[in-house]
Chains A and B, each alone.
Chain A
C-alpha cells in the first residue's frame, strides 16, 4: 500500500498531526473572515488576509513553498518574494491612495495639518516601549524591530510594510507578517479602539464644541501645485520618505490635474483593486504557524495597540492645546483623526460628535488631520529608515 502511494492521500491528516498549530492559524483566518464578512470591519483587507492565512496554513504548504532549482515555488511565495518583501506593493498602494485622497479639506484649513504631526507620537513612544521590552531576557527586540513595531502606531498598513521590509534589508529580523497583520487589524478596529481614548481625554463641553464649516473652494492652481510641492519638500527634507510621499503625490496629481482622467480612474480602481488582492493574500500567507505562534507575536500585537492608543492620545492632547490657544474654536476630538486610517478615524470623530449633538458636523474638519497623518506617518518612516542602519 505504501508503495502504491495510497498514504499520500492522507498526507493532509499527517500534516495536521505533525503540526497541530495549523488549526490555531486556521481559526485565526476564520476569525478575520468573520470580522470582514459579518461585522464589515475593513472587508477589503480582512477577507484577502483571512483567506491568505487559511490557504497558507493548509497541510504541506503547497502555496507557500519556496522555489528550488528543480521545482517551482508556491503561488503565494512569488507574491511574497517579488511584491511584498520589497517596495513594490507598498508603493503601488500609495499610488492608489494618492489618487483616492481628496486633500481639499486639509488645503482649505491648513492649520489642522499639525494635528497629523502630533498623532505620530505613538510611533516613537511604541518604539521606545519595544526597545525597553527588548532589554528583558524574554524578548529579542533591537532598534530595527522596534522601528517596525512602532510604525504600527501610524495606522498605515503600506508604510508599516515599507518600514518592516526596509529594516529586514538592514539586517533586522523577519517580523513582517506580525506587524502587517497588527497594523491592518488595528486599522479595522479604529471604531472600537479610538472612542474610549477620546472620551477619556476630553470633557463633554469640549466634545460639544462646534466648528462652523465655511466652504472655501481651494484654487485649482493650489490643488495642482500642492502634490508637486509636497513631493519636493519631503524629498529634500526626508529623502528616505521620498518614495512613499512622492508616489502618493504622483497619484494625487493624476487625480487633480483633470487631463488624465483615465490614468486617475485606473489608479483609483483597477490598479488599487489588484494590488489590494495581492497585498492581502501576501500578508496573510506570511502568517504561518511556525512564524506567528510565538510569544513575540503577542508582544508585537500588544505594542501595536499601545502605539495606536498613544498616537490617538497625542492627537487629542495637541487638539486640546489648539483648542485652548484658539479660544475654544477647535474641537479637540479632531486630533484623534491625525492617525492615518483614512477616512475611518474622521468618521469616528464625526460619529462621536453627532452622538453628543446631532447638529455638530466635524467630518470635513477631521479629514484635514486625517490626510495630514498619512504624510506624517510616511515622514516618520523616512526618519526611521534614515537613522537606523
Chain B
C-alpha cells in the first residue's frame, strides 16, 4: 500500500512535469516560428511588389495576376474543403489565366499565375467569434432549430459555414 502511495505521488508529478514541459516547448516553438513565418510572408509580399514593374507578362498585367493569384487561392481553398481541385485555367473578366496552386491547407501556399510565382497565406477568416456566436442565438429562437436542415453550430474556423438556414455543422458539407 505504501508503495502504491509512492507510485501515486511520483506518477502524478511525472505526468504534470512531462505535460508542463511540452506546454513550454509548444509556447516556445510558436513564439519562434509564428514570428518567422509572418516575417517570411511579409518579405515575400514586398518582393512581389518590387518585382512588379520589372516583370510584366504578355497577356496579363502583373497587377492582374496578383489579383488572380488571390482569387485562385480563395477558390482552391474553397474547392479543397469540398474535395475538389482548382483547374489549370481560370477566366477573370474575359481574360484567361494559367493557374497552378499548391495545397491550400498548408500555408504559405505556392502558386503560379501565367508563370508568375506567388506565395500566399490565408489569415483571418469571417467575423470575430463573439459576433458569430451572437448571430446563432436569434436563429435558434426564430424556430430554425426545429427545421430539418438545422445542425449544431460551428464557427467558420472550425469548418462551419453560413447558409440561409443558419450556421451549419461540418457534416452538412459532406
- Give the B-binding residues of A (Cβ under 8 A): 106-107, 110-111, 113-114, 116-118, 120-121, 123-125, 127-128, 131-132, 135, 143, 146, 210, 212-215, 217-222, 225-226, 229-230, 233-234, 237-238, 258, 350, 354, 358-361, 363-364, 372, 375-376, 379-380, 383-384, 387-388
Contacts and interface: CB of A to CB of B under 8 A. Distances in A.
6 contacts: A114-B16, A125-B8, A222-B33, A237-B21, A258-B106, A376-B18
Contacts of A383: 7, 10-11, 14-15
A220 B107 contact: yes
B3 A116 contact: no
Contacts of B106: 220, 258
Main SS class of interface, A: helix
Given A361-B133, A383-B10, A233 B21 contact: yes
A210 B23 CA distance: 23
A113 B19 contact: yes
Contact of B129 (A213, A218, A234): A213
B140 interface: yes
B19 A359 contact: no
Contact of A384 (B7, B22, B33, B134): B7
**Nearest 9 CB-CB pairs, A to B?**
A215-B157, A124-B8, A221-B33, A219-B33, A383-B11, A110-B26, A117-B19, A359-B137, A222-B29
Interface in B88-115: 103, 106-107
A111 B10 CA distance: 22
A358 B136 contact: yes
Contacts of A128: 1, 4-5, 8
B46 interface: no
Contacts of B133: 210, 212, 359-361
Contacts of B21: 233, 237
Nearest to A382: B14
Contact of B29 (A127, A132, A229, A380): A229
A128 B8 CA distance: 8
A213 B124 CA distance: 12
B37 A221 contact: yes
A215 B4 CA distance: 43
A233 B18 contact: yes
B58 interface: no
Nearest to A119: B15
A124 B8 CA distance: 5
Contact of B7 (A215, A221, A359, A388): A388
B153 A361 contact: yes
B152 interface: yes
A110 B23 CA distance: 5
Contacts of B129: 212-215, 361
A213 B109 CA distance: 25
B106 to A, nearest CB: 5
Interface in B14-42: 14-23, 25-27, 29-30, 33-34, 36-37
Interface in B120-151: 123-125, 128-130, 133-134, 136-137, 140, 145
B158 interface: yes
Nearest to B12: A124
A190 B36 CA distance: 41
Contacts of A218: 30, 34
A124 B19 contact: no
A54 B154 CA distance: 41
A114 B128 CA distance: 27
